Chains A and B, each alone.
Chain A
Amino acid sequence: MLENLIVFILASIIGSEVISKVPATLHTPLMSGSNAISGITIVGALIVAGMVGDAWAMWIGVAAVIVATINVVGGFLVTDRMLQMFKKKD
């Protein structure tokens, strides 16, 4: 538990340092991109659902896998679509 908390706090600090330097121009892609990263629950879903014999746990887990994948795939793709539009003057 304490170890988890340490990792959480350190990661939060790194996140704040890195993200506070993102310019306002990129705030929408930052949101949708970081949102895609929060789809990391897909890993949790795979672990819980894939390793347990219990049918309930598995089906709830499959549902979790589906929604988390929507989040991941949709989030990264839409961010990419936005970012490819940002161009310098040619």
Chain B
Amino acid sequence: MKQNIINIAYLVSGIMFIYGLKRLQSPATARKGNQLAAIGMLVAVVATLFFKELLTPIQMLMGVVVGAGIGLYLAKKVEMTGMPELVAAFNGFGGIGSALVAGAEIARFMAHNAADTGGDEFTAISAVTISLSILIGMITFTGSFVAFGKLSERISGNPISFLGMRFITIVFLVAAVGATVWMGMENVTFQEINADAMLYGAIVVAVSGAFLGILLVIPIGGADMPVVVALLNSYSGLAAAATGFVLNNNALIISGALVGASGLILTNIMCVAMNRSLLNVLIGGFGGDGGDAAAGGGVSTAGMTVNSTSADDVAILLSYANKVIFIPGYGMAVAQAQHAVRELGEELAKKGVIVKYAVHPVAGRMPGHMNVLLAEANVPYDQLFEMDEINAEFETTDVAVVIGANDVVNPAARHDKASPIYGMPILNADKAGTSIVLKRSMRPGYAGIDNELFYNSNNQMLFGDAKESIAAVTNEVKQL
């Protein structure tokens, strides 16, 4: 009876997760959707706490309280610009959580405990599901924290690779598979638990997973971070689903599958937006912190000159325009310029200028990064446009203002077959009447390549800190 109540509770929470995610289809209903999913989680946890006969409820409750406190603190403290690394860190916690549950299951089997969690006997399937759960969980854990380090610039954003890296990856994969087979053979064929095989097998799998996670993320460059964050998001779901298989628990399987699917879809969207395959991203080592010598590119920009402009000139240009499109990039986040940009947009709107924002799918360090920053700055979401919606409009736009974006507006992607970003869909800033690029210096973007846009005759560069430049322009606009 009690098990039935629990199962119904899990069904209810699964339904709430699905409808919660469905409400994320519109910004108007999204907040309610997230709350619905949170209530779904509460239902699942409460049902488990009250209807399972937990032997150690106090310790369990303690764990919940401690975790909730840490989660609350992190969620309140984070700046919106720090969101990518926080999401990466949460991914990591989810991953290690799944691995630990599988570890606890190993301990249970070793202790030969009759108290059941689902399938009592250790079968070949148990060996495989437990190993998978530990492996994916550990990959998610270490991978996410390497991504966290790269995103928060605690470790270099440059792709790191070394001779024999792929060989080592294969060695760890083989070790994990071997340990799983050993665990299964020892424990299934002899009809009793071989504690050594259990423990050491699990440790080998865990260590392999830990190294595989690191090896997965270190060769990936700064420009590809959105893909990795999305992929790790998917892994954290798959790890939860694998744990569900271990425990025969539908709540875990359903939720894990939802998250796994979500992460994969985002990963795919990011890859398409860069015109590259996932495999290419994972082994590509594309793009560092910038500042490296300009790599590749068939068109030489050596000897070409750029037009430099001033805040006053930009202010005049913008004030007398009919339509202005802002193109934000990671540089806007770094300079914390989103509030200044919104203010400028409002001033222009007062003068009757049509103001829109064009957001490239891979702008920033995670999917949707720019949208969150602009929302934080109170830019209404109906002024934000996706690439496909707005690209045709550039030809009828007077001024395109590029704020800290680079590769996503590089026209070389359209025609220069030698360019590393050839084929990547870009925002057509060069088709606007005038393009203005706000930039600190002439350093290349994250892909480490020079940008043809800068050398166009109808392009003007406004050098300096994006926040200060925008504020200066806004001041001038106000006085006009």
Q: Report A's interface with B, CB cutoff 8 A.
A: 1, 4, 7-9, 11-16, 18-54, 56-58, 60-90
Contact = CB atoms under 8 A, between A and B. Distances in A.
B391 to A, nearest CB: 14
B90 A36 contact: yes
A31 B87 contact: yes
A11 B258 CA distance: 6
Interface string B94-126: 101110110111011011010111000000010
5 contacts: A16-B261, A23-B386, A31-B367, A50-B57, A64-B96
Nearest to A6: B253
A77 B71 contact: yes
Contact of B103 (A18, A60, A77): A60
A36 to B, nearest CB: 7
Contact of B91 (A20, A21, A35): A35
Interface in B23-46: 24-28, 30-31, 33-35, 37-38, 41, 44-45
Contacts of A31: 87, 229-230, 233, 262-263, 266, 366-368
Interface of B: 10, 14, 17-18, 20-22, 24-28, 30-31, 33-35, 37-38, 41, 44-45, 48-49, 52-57, 59-60, 62-64, 66-68, 70-72, 74-76, 78, 80, 83, 86-87, 90-91, 93-94, 96-98, 100-101, 103-105, 107-108, 110-111, 113, 115-117, 125, 229-230, 233, 236-237, 239-241, 243-266, 269, 359, 361, 366-369, 371-372, 375-376, 378, 380-384, 386
A52 B125 CA distance: 21
Given A41-B243, A87-B380, A29 B34 contact: yes
Contact of B48 (A26, A43, A52): A43
Closest 7 A/B residue pairs (Cβ)? A69-B67, A27-B368, A74-B71, A15-B261, A65-B63, A73-B71, A50-B54
Contacts of B25: 18, 21-23, 26
A86 B382 contact: no
B21 A73 contact: no
B254 to A, nearest CB: 4
Given A4-B253, A68-B67, A56 B107 contact: yes
A23 B101 CA distance: 34
B90 A70 contact: yes
Given A24-B368, A76-B37, A70 B266 contact: no
B249 A44 contact: yes
* Interface SS of chain A: helix
Contacts of B83: 28, 32, 78, 82
Given A27-B368, A42-B97, A34 B75 contact: no
Contacts of B67: 42, 65-73
Contacts of A81: 75-76
Given A67-B93, A88-B380, A54 B113 contact: yes
B252 A33 contact: no
Contact of A68 (B54, B94, B230): B94
A11 B60 CA distance: 29
Given A43-B251, A65-B64, A74-B72, A34 B101 contact: no
Given A8-B257, A43-B45, A60-B104, 16 more contacts: A11-B254, A15-B258, A27-B371, A28-B366, A35-B87, A36-B38, A41-B101, A46-B45, A47-B52, A56-B107, A57-B111, A64-B96, A65-B63, A71-B93, A76-B34, A88-B28
A11 to B, nearest CB: 4
B66 A48 contact: no
A54 B106 CA distance: 11
B101 A50 contact: no
Contacts of B251: 40, 43
Contact of A48 (B117, B361, B383): B117
- Kindly name the residue among A16, A37, A84, A86 whose own CB sees the greatest number of chain B CB atoms within 10 A: A37
Contact of A8 (B27, B241, B366): B241
B45 to A, nearest CB: 6
Contacts of B253: 4, 7-8, 11
Given A15-B258, A69-B68, A82-B83, A28 B104 contact: no
Given A31-B229, A47-B249, A66-B66, A38 B256 contact: yes
- Kindly name the residue among A38, A46, A56, A57 whose own CB sees the greatest number of chain B CB atoms within 10 A: A38
Contact of B71 (A7, A51, A70): A70
Contacts of B26: 23
